[in-house]
């Protein structure tokens, strides 16, 4: 049904002519046409207006020969649907006036009906699918429960997420209750996204690497795996854990179709830890897109050769940076599209 299904074939582990390519956080930030919209609508208005979200999703697709689109949205729409009033502050990022710090606050949070609270996302999917015209697959996403807890407890971004950790370590009962409520909401949300027509879902565990391997099991993986179990029945699931190389062996045993890795691990080690059988996605250092286009091309070719063309999705090791020149992003994508077996 989808004309270019390279991404979906790579997720299934099929033999492909070249790896598919997309870039994490491709819909936004570094694109001048995205920044232009900033003056007109605030961030969450862009997320909540299906026509805008669909149009932003298409921005990188119109510019580059990408093999997948990712729906423009944010991981924080989940805590918003659960009643937490996140704003996006210019220059400062996410902001929650009253962060979650007590068991009582968590007990008062309800698992919402996703159709009532997140209908705008499902409408955005519908509009985006029309615009995509079955050319390439659309990826849906959510944050991991741990990564979302980080913002709910901290109330904003952080270098260490020490308040989130304090909450988990001093008040594990409250932490687990919150993580479970986020998990239940996320499962309902992602299932609905799949029903609406996204071809795969990705879970972003951006702050999983802040935890020790043991704490990662308890506070992050335990919940991600519930999402993987529930969603894998109806869709391929990709788990991206930034800094989570220590959990790759465990992740490989799950029903995830693919694992995202960041640039701090070599392709050889990532293959070794995952047994060589699961599809991997990554792992170009996002700041390496600041190199000259010729260097980017060489490094991308080497990255593909080291991961191998099959069971591989070329991507960055984390989201694209806002200061990446358009032609450098293009060099990255072209290097994958033009890659040939030699
Ligand atoms: O390709 C895409 O951009 C798709 C949509 C997308 C956004 N956020 C839009 C966005 C995705 C997949 C995300 C995920 C997300 N959001 C994560 C996980 C991935 C990651 O990068 O680690 C996290 C941690 C967030 C929370 C968040 N949203 C932060 C910390 C910030 C501020 C810093 C930043 O990224 O600029 C945002 C804002 C945000 N989300 C922007 C975009 C395009 C920038 C807002 C703007 O430029 O006005």
**Reported ipTM:** 0.92
Over range 273-279, report the average pLDDT.
96
**Phi-psi category of 258—alpha, beta or left, where left has phi over 0 and alpha has psi -120 to 50?**
beta
How far is residue 253's CA from residue 11's CA, in Å, rounded to a whole number? 16
Tell which atom from ligand 1 comes closest to the C-alpha of 322: 36
Out of 75, 86, 156, 161, mutate this one to test ligand 1's pocket (max ligand atoms within 8 Å of CB): namely 75
Out of 60, 262, 319, 323, mutate this one to test ligand 1's pocket (max ligand atoms within 8 Å of CB): namely 319
Does the annotation flag 72 for ligand binding?
A: no
CB 261 within 8 A of CB 317: yes
Beta strands in 161-236 (DSSP E): 200-205
Distance 72 CA to ligand 1 centre (A): 9
Does the annotation flag 288 for ligand binding?
A: no
pLDDT, residue 72, reads 98
Contacting residues for 72 by C-beta, under 8 A, at least 6 apart: 27, 28, 46, 47, 53, 54, 56, 57, 124
Report residues whose beta carbon is within 6 angstroms of any ligand 1 atom.
25-29, 38, 43, 70, 72-76, 88, 93-94, 141, 143, 147, 157, 204, 206, 319
Tell which atom from ligand 1 comes closest to the C-alpha of 47: 9
Backbone angles phi, psi at 226, to 5 degrees: -65, -40
Active-site residue list: 25, 29, 38, 74, 151
Residue with the nearest Cα to atom 1 of ligand 1? 25
- Checking if the pLDDT of 144 tops 90, the result is yes
Distance 74 CA to ligand 1 centre (A): 6
Contacting residues for 167 by C-beta, under 8 A, at least 6 apart: 100, 101, 149, 153, 174, 175
Residue with the nearest Cα to atom 23 of ligand 1? 75
pLDDT, residue 90, reads 87
Average pLDDT over the chain, rounded to whole?
Answer: 97
Over range 158-182, report the average pLDDT.
98
Task: Compute the half-sphere exposure of residue 297: CA atoms within 13 Å on the CB side of its CA.
Answer: 12
Tell which atom from ligand 1 comes closest to the C-alpha of 60: 1
pLDDT, residue 28, reads 86
- Checking if the pLDDT of 235 tops 90, the result is yes
Distance 119 CA to ligand 1 centre (A): 20
CB 258 within 8 A of CB 238: yes
Q: Which two tokens mark 123?
A: 């409408």
Does the annotation flag 63 for ligand binding?
A: no
Distance 306 CA to ligand 1 centre (A): 29
Helix, strand, or coil (residue 117): helix
> Domains (ranges, CATH) in the chain?
20-265 (3.20.20.210)
Over range 52-70, report the average pLDDT.
98
pLDDT, residue 65, reads 98
pLDDT, residue 39, reads 82
Does the annotation flag 206 for ligand binding?
A: yes
> Which tens digit of pLDDT belongs to each residue from 71-122?
999 999 999 999 999 999 988 899 999 999 999 999 999 999 999 999 999 9
Residue with the nearest Cα to atom 33 of ligand 1? 93
Does the annotation flag 209 for ligand binding?
A: no
Distance 43 CA to ligand 1 centre (A): 10
> Which tens digit of pLDDT belongs to each residue from 184-222?
999 999 999 999 999 999 999 999 999 999 999 999 999
- Checking if the pLDDT of 245 tops 90, the result is yes
Predicted confidence band of residue 293 (pLDDT cuts 50, 70, 90): very high
DSSP readout, 233-288? TTS-EEEEETT-GGGHHHHHTSS-SEEE--TTS-HHHHHHHTTT-SEEEEEE-GGG
- What percent of the chain has a predicted confidence (pLDDT) above 70? 100
pLDDT, residue 38, reads 82
pLDDT, residue 342, reads 78
To which residue do tokens 């519908």 refer? 126
Tell which atom from ligand 1 comes closest to the C-alpha of 240: 19
> At CA 322, angle to CA 316 and CA 325, rounded to 5?
80
- Checking if the pLDDT of 266 tops 90, the result is yes
Distance 39 CA to ligand 1 centre (A): 17
Does the annotation flag 44 for ligand binding?
A: yes
How far is residue 120's CA from residue 52's CA, in Å, rounded to a whole number? 11
pLDDT, residue 237, reads 99
Predicted confidence band of residue 32 (pLDDT cuts 50, 70, 90): very high
CB 70 within 8 A of CB 37: no
């Amino acid at each position: 049904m989808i004309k270019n299904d390279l991404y979906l074939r790579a997720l299934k582990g099929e033999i492909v002519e070249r790896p598919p390519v997309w870039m994490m956080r491709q819909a936004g930030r570094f694109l001048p046409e995205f920044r232009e919209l900033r003056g007109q609508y605030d961030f969450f208005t862009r997320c909540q207006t299906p026509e805008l979200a669909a149009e932003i999703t298409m921005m990188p697709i119109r510019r580059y020969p990408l093999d997948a689109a990712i729906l423009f949205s944010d991981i924080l729409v989940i805590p918003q649907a659960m009643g937490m009033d996140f704003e996006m502050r210019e220059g400062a990022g996410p902001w929650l006036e009253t962060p979650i710090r007590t068991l009582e606050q968590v007990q008062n949070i309800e698992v919402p009906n996703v159709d009532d609270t997140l209908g705008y996302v499902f409408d955005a999917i519908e509009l985006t699918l029309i615009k995509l015209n079955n050319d390439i697959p659309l990826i849906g996403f959510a944050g991991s429960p741990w990564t979302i807890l980080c913002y709910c407890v901290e109330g904003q971004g952080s270098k260490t997420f020490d308040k989130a950790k304090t909450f988990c370590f001093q008040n594990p009962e409250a932490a687990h209750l919150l993580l479970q409520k986020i998990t239940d909401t996320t499962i309902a949300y992602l299932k609905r996204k799949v029903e609406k027509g996204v071809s795969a879902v990705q879970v972003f565990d951006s702050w999983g690497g802040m935890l020790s391997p043991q704490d990662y099991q308890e506070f992050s993986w335990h919940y991600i795996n519930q999402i993987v179990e529930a969603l894998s029945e109806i869709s391929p699931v990709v788990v991206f854990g930034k800094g989570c190389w220590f959990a790759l062996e465990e992740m490989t045993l799950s029903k995830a179709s693919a694992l995202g890795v960041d640039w701090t691990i070599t392709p050889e080690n990532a293959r070794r830890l995952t047994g060589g059988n699961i599809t991997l996605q990554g792992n170009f250092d996002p700041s390496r897109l600041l190199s000259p286009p010729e260097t980017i091309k060489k490094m991308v070719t080497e990255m593909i050769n080291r991961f191998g063309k099959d069971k591989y999705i070329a991507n960055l090791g984390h989201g694209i940076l806002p200061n990446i020149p358009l032609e450098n992003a293009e060099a990255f994508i072209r290097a994958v599209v033009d890659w040939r077996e030699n």
